[in-house]
Structure 1
Amino acid sequence: MQTILGSFLFLVLLRTGTSLECEVCNGMGNSCTGSMMTCEPGLDTCAIILTENSLAGERIQTVMKQCYYSNACNSLTTDMNLGQGRYVRTIVSCCEGDACRTTSPQISSAMQPNGKQCPACYSLSASGCDIVTADCDGEENYCLDMVQKVTYGKFVVNVSMKGCVTENVCAAKEGQTSSSGIDTNIMKVSCTPAPVAA
């Protein structure tokens, strides 16, 4: 009996000693390096999150590596088309072990129009922005209307966004979130199915 109990305790200790570790970092471009971190319970895989945006008038890529939920690994690429060449695209690539050091996700620039349109704009003002019509691409099947307040230290920016988005963007809820020292308070968010262009 004591041998069985000892073996059980050894297996428990062995299991708790093999917690998942992921490289954690962020930076510009599509790769970064950082230290290894033990993941919290529930975060059962490592992920590389690549974001590309053209909101400032030029294409900028940023990357984050972190612990992640495996059930979110197969989600579609997140696309926000805000008209006049302004967009935000994010892709999540899940990995484990050495694959996280060699995986280099890429965001496809080849987008195909899907025949739908949405009102679109982007402005650093909560009072609204000049609306144009955006032609939706790929899986962008919804029209977004969002106002958020972003706080970074002493800097506070109000952001208005309208445009074509993928369904997963519509999961955003009103309220406040914090990440890497940036507080984002979504003041208003709504999604409606994108109509077919007339």
Structure 2
Amino acid sequence: MAFLILFLFALLYVAARPAFTIQCRTCTGVNIECTGTLTTCSSEYDTCHLIFTEATLSGKTLKTTRRSCTTQKSCIPGDIFMHLANGYQETGQSLCCTTDDCNAANFTVPAWNEILNGKQCPSCSAESPNTCQQETINCMGSEDRCFTREIGSTIQKGCATRSFCANSFAITFSESLILSSQTIQCGNEDVPGITNTAPESRWLCLQIFSGFLIAKPFLQCFF
């Protein structure tokens, strides 16, 4: 009888305990330091996420950072690489971790690997109503996917890694600087035409604080 009472007490204790929560840094930054604020995540989140990228074109660099709460299932880690025929490229990394404050770490952008890997993709970049004039480019390093990304009225096609497909940023302007809505499709088949759609399609829509408007003149170099 005493054992049964202890067993029932243990069940009640477990049931009464609060759900597991993790604490993560949260912030979004464009060309500014983004260390984030330590936040207690909602109970549905069990993972901290850190994404950082550098976009380059004609010697100019645009840096983005995002620290957030997420789930292990949806967090896709790995090196972020993509490039287009016009010389535009993005490199960075997605980090996933499961202990408190683990996404506060500093980061280093991975070195660009220019070794051709044998894969080819169609590539172009154009803003409507201009036609996206495709040409074939050679993929490099770990770029194993062809992607098509639409950012508002702009379309881009080129080579990319899986982590880019899952974590890409889309930055444009309206009345204020925003991370704009985007659609991205990725396929791992070689194509001289349209890429296949893969499950890694993502949609992103995040408002950035008005203080980030300092980046506006620079961003206009990219889009």
Q: TM-score, normalised by structure 1?
A: 0.68
Amino acid at match of 1:113: L
Match runs of 1:103-182 below 5 Å:
103-111=105-113, 112-125=115-128, 127-149=130-152, 158-167=153-162, 182=179
Distance verdict in 2 for CA 1:39–1:55, change over 3 Å? farther
Match of 1:21 among 23, 44, 56: 23
AA aligned opposite 1:100:
N
Shift of 1:68: 1.8
Report the CA distance shift for 1:43/1:99 in structure 2 as closer, same or farther (over 3 A): closer
* 1:184, distance to aligned residue in structure 2 (A): 1.5
Match of 1:152 in 2: none
Cα drift, residue 125 of structure 1: 2.9
Q: Which runs of 5+ in 2 are unaligned?
A: 168-176, 193-223
1:177 maps to none
Deviates more, 1:139-148 or 1:62-71: 139-148
Deviates more, 1:92-101 or 1:162-171: 162-171
Q: In structure 2, what is the Cα distance between the partners aligned to 1:80 and 1:20? A: 32
Q: CA deviation at 1:113?
A: 1.9
For residue 133 of structure 1, report the CA deviation from its aligned partner.
4.1
Specify every segment of 5 or more residues in structure 1 that has no aligned partner in the other structure, as ranges: 150-157, 173-179
Asked if 2 retains the 8 angstrom alpha-carbon contact of 1:48 and 1:92, the reply is yes
Q: Aligned Cα RMSD in Å?
A: 3.5
% same residue: 26
Distance (Å, rounded) in 1 between the aligned partners of 2:24 and 2:166: 26
Structure (1/2) with the larger strand percentage: 1
Residue 83 (str. 1) matches residue 85 (str. 2) = yes
Runs of 4+ in 1 over 6 A off after TM superposition: none
Asked if the contact 2:126–2:156 (Cα under 8 Å) also holds between the matched residues in 1, the reply is: yes
Q: How far apart are residue 70 of structure 1 and its match? A: 1.9
1:184 equivalent among 178, 181, 185: 181
Task: Give the structure-2-normalised TM-score.
Answer: 0.62
CA shift in 2, pair 1:64/1:74, >3 Å: closer
CA distance in 2, matches of 1:166, 1:23: 26
Count of residues in correspondence between the two structures = 178
Aligned to 1:8: 11
Decide which moves more: 61-70 or 85-94: 85-94
**Aligned equivalents of 1:168, 1:55: Cα separation in 2:** 21
